[in-house]
Amino acid sequence: MRGRILQQWCMFLVLLLMADFAITTTLFEPFNVTYDHRSLIIAGHRRMLISAGIHYPRSTPQMWPDLIGKAKEGGVDVIETYTFWNGHEPVRGQYHFEGRYDLVKFVKLVGSSGLYLFLRIGPYVCAEWNFGGFPVWLRDIPGIEFRTDNEPFKEEMQRFVTKIVNLMREEMLFSWQGGPIILLQIENEYGDVENSYGKKGQNYINWAANMALGLGAGVPWVMCKQTDAPELIIDTCNGYYCDGFKPNSNKKPIFWTENWDGWYTTWGGRLPHRPVQDLAFAVARFFQRGGSLQNYYMYFGGTNFGRTAGGPFYITSYDYDAPIDEYGLLSQPKWGHLRDLHAAIRLCEPALVAVDSPHYIKLGPMQEAHVYHKRGNGRRSRLSDSGDENRCSAFLANIDQHNAASVHFQGHTYKLPPWSVSILPDCQNVAYNTAKVGAQTSIKELESDAPNVSNKSVSQKLLRHDGSSYVSERWMTVDEPLGIWSDHNFTVQGILEHLNVTKDSSDYLWYFIRIYVSGEDASFWKEDGVHPALSIDSMRDVVHIFVNGQLAGSGVGRWVEVTQPVKLLEGYNDVALLSQTVGLQNYGAFLEKDGGGFRGQIKLTGLKSGDMDLSNLSWTYQVGLKGEMQEIYTLDGNEKAAWVDLATDGIKSPLSWYKTYFDAPDGLDPVALDLSSMGKGQAWINGHHIGRYWTLSSPQDGCQKPCDYRGKYDSGKCTTNCGKPTQVRYHVPRSWLQETNNLLVVFEETGGNPVEISLTAHYTQLICAGISESHYPPLSRWVNHGSVDEQILINDTTPEMHLHCEDGHVINIVFASYGTPKGRCQEYSKGSCHAPKSSDVVSKLCQGRQTCSIRVSNAEFGVDPCRGVVKTLAVEAKCISSWVAGFSSV
């Protein structure tokens, strides 16, 4: 077993070495990029481009080659990313371009894969990223106002943008140098806030455009959601739908810089999902109506490692319901259905680039066609490939969200499902319909009916009912001091703003005060049954209130009032407020004015003589936690703490550190840390900051099951996970693990049970697919004839089912029926019509393989089980370890 694992790791390292070699040896021949009103013009040719958003810091460099490869396999032409100012310049003038922030390596990997790169410098990025990408030191520059006609801000912004452009030029990464960068972005969604700044906003946007153009990058620049973008900057669309968007000049092409294929999530929120049928509909409509570049935000979302999540209150996972999930695995059917869409659009590209605009045909009250057809006239387009003058492609749309429609087009009848687009690469045969999904469904987490094991002893808990394993049976702990813990504190009169003190070096800031309670007040409370309370006018994001060393209560919210009853003793009482931020504001105007901590008055109410205003008294401040500053979560620093063995009867105390050691799970599957037994805090493995965790549950209601893809999407539609914690599993990159003796350190704020923390492999466990014999054939069957007029031909129209398990896993057939099967994934059953050899045929083609294909036809199954009826093939299979499969076959 260990030998096989070592062999897998060796293969993994070889792939990484090959990737490193590739990025130093293979990019592009130099080419120019310009644009006209129709599209980008790359090396003299118009292009229709599919772009995939992948933010390099939200994964590890070891993951990048696989992510880029899966994007390319999915039919993508371009990788898009922001740059992250606060990651690259955490201290003013000190730059960081290593590890997850190795932008140059990421761009070279994209180029070595043969893909282009769209670099959105910003430097404001939003992105649900801490402080919108701005470094917090920026707010301390005297006289600064962000994102307006303000000299201190413009000076800092220009310095960083120039740094990035010069770095890309020095590394030969622009297209005209043989690199992959074809497009740049300055600013980001400024149109949403521009009115807040008045005339200075317009002045700023003109300055930003001129500054960017003056850097001589040699490729086009864009501004998204900027209707007043200057002449030489392309204004672009962001949103769920952009098929009706028009730029502010007929000299500019139609670009969609953010197609929101999911949405972000907050602690205590439901999980959003965007149906792939609607997403595909939006993309097809965009190209149907004249669009030429579309970017998925996100194609891979990844993870907000450390304290990079914005907010407030954005969770550590940034999965975004993207085609590639947070761990780097394919999300099916989203990835597969979009791959087919991209292939269909690619077949249409010669026709799409050959004409300036489509021919519009109204097919019905809510049905329409857009035809791209340039008839041969002896002249070829200077900006499109030769031989395209006889190409014809069409898009047929039914925008009725309730009813299917039959339409007549060029002498043929076509059936269009509700809210769908059919793509006809040759203006005759349908290659793809957005509502008809042929890709498999992949399920990565299966519900278990096994009983809860929380009442078992520690030694019995090393295996959980869901197949994951408890991290360890031996834990150690150390308490975090309450209040002031070092000489590095200070005392001032009044309440200070949180960020002005911490500079975001930590989420945590202690506010400490000692209050004297007279005997008169103590008697008053006892005799009259009055209870004193601590009242805070306004607070964000979280405060834990401790009185005399005991947790009295907590407050959560964004600038909310907090009133907490407290138990005070006669004499002196210590009151310690642990204020914390949970991600800095990342969106909106005047970000430099948004802070944390407390606003208004802090009072003690319920006194006999009236309220006591504590706001103007002397407070002592302590930044951060002792364990945090000692770095007891690192391999070297953890020995600085006085760890003791954890007693099982003492595992509910707040503000506690826990540590243990564990071995990495076997294999190469992505790894998740299950923290469902904990409350709120942060976690580290081998010194790497996994991120914040918080076992906060979503509302019981508001989820839709099943979800109806039809009609316009918004983030409240098709949510899941009602009544459950928003996030319990946290991504642990494999590259952060060693084979044995991994250090796990957890800081728990409110009280939890570390003994029940578990590790689980994240992989596709179950796959399902259902395809009828009337489905479209694979897009790979469509081929160019090769003649002068390059007509598209398809000779074999037999549909095909494709099944796939992740690397290291093979297919184990659970159910197969060709005929009229009933039910859906995980609920399939045979119908009244069933080919007897269904299971045998499918098993022969698929059992024990990682990938297989089955032709959906009577010939494949040796019988027509019910004549005159359209048959469907339904298959359900488990993905099992290839090692287990090999062992069981011996």
How far apart, in whole angstroms, are the C-alpha atoms of residue 693 and residue 708?
Answer: 32
DSSP state of 534: E
- Beta strand 367-373 with 441-443: parallel, antiparallel or unpaired? unpaired
Q: Enumerate residues 6+ apart whose C-beta is below 8 A from 701.
A: 722
Instruction: Tell me if 187 sits within 8 A of 234, measured CB to CB.
Output: no
Question: Is 189 assigned a catalytic role?
Answer: yes
Q: What is the dihedral of CA 632, 636, 639, 643, to 10 degrees?
A: 40
Catalytic residue among 187, 258, 480, 748, which? 258
How far apart, in whole angstroms, are the C-alpha atoms of residue 127 and residue 739?
Answer: 34
Q: Give the three-class secondary structure for 691.
A: strand
Q: Dihedral of CA 70/76/77/79: which sign?
A: negative
How far apart, in whole angstroms, are the C-alpha atoms of residue 253 and residue 663?
Answer: 54
Q: In what order do the strands lie in the sheet with 469-470?
A: 469-470, 758-761, 671-674, 729-732
Q: In what order do the strands lie in the sheet with 644-645?
A: 644-645, 476-479, 656-662, 742-748, 680-685, 688-694
Degrees to nearest 5, angle at CA 374 with 368 and 376 = 145
Degrees to nearest 5, angle at CA 297 with 330 and 669 = 25
Phi then psi for residue 320, to 5 deg, are 65, 10
Q: Give the three-class secondary structure for 141.
A: coil
Q: Give the three-class secondary structure for 286.
A: helix
Largest distance between two CA atoms of the chain: 103
Q: Enumerate residues 6+ apart whose C-beta is below 8 A from 36.
A: 46, 251, 253, 383
Phi/psi zone of residue 106: left (φ > 0), alpha (ψ -120 to 50 degrees), beta?
Answer: alpha
DSSP state of 755: G
- Beta strand 367-373 with 392-398: parallel, antiparallel or unpaired? antiparallel
Q: Kindly report the number of other CB atoms within 10 A of residue 631's CB atom.
A: 16
Look at residues 283, 277, 279, 317 and name the one whose alpha carbon lies nearest to residue 301.
317
How far apart, in whole angstroms, are the C-alpha atoms of residue 594 and residue 811?
Answer: 53
Return the structure tokens found at 178: 């043989």
DSSP state of 452: P
Radius of gyration of the chain (CA): 30
Q: Is 111 exposed, middle or buried (0-12, 13-18, 19+ CB in 10 A)?
A: buried
Q: In what order do the strands lie in the sheet with 872-881?
A: 441-443, 766-772, 872-881, 809-819
Question: Is 473 assigned a catalytic role?
Answer: no
- Beta strand 680-685 with 508-517: parallel, antiparallel or unpaired? unpaired
- Beta strand 116-122 with 181-186: parallel, antiparallel or unpaired? parallel
Look at residues 311, 310, 286, 308 and name the one whose alpha carbon lies nearest to residue 296.
286
How far apart, in whole angstroms, are the C-alpha atoms of residue 802 and residue 876?
Answer: 12
H-helix or E-strand spanning residue 275? none
How far apart, in whole angstroms, are the C-alpha atoms of residue 224 and residue 245?
Answer: 12
H-helix or E-strand spanning residue 279? helix 276-288
Catalytic residue among 189, 368, 628, 876, which? 189
Look at residues 176, 219, 179 and name the one whose alpha carbon lies nearest to residue 40.
219
DSSP state of 698: P
- Beta strand 234-239 with 432-433: parallel, antiparallel or unpaired? unpaired
Instruction: Tell me if 105 sits within 8 A of 59, measured CB to CB.
Output: no
How far apart, in whole angstroms, are the C-alpha atoms of residue 791 and residue 86?
Answer: 52
Active site residues: 189, 258
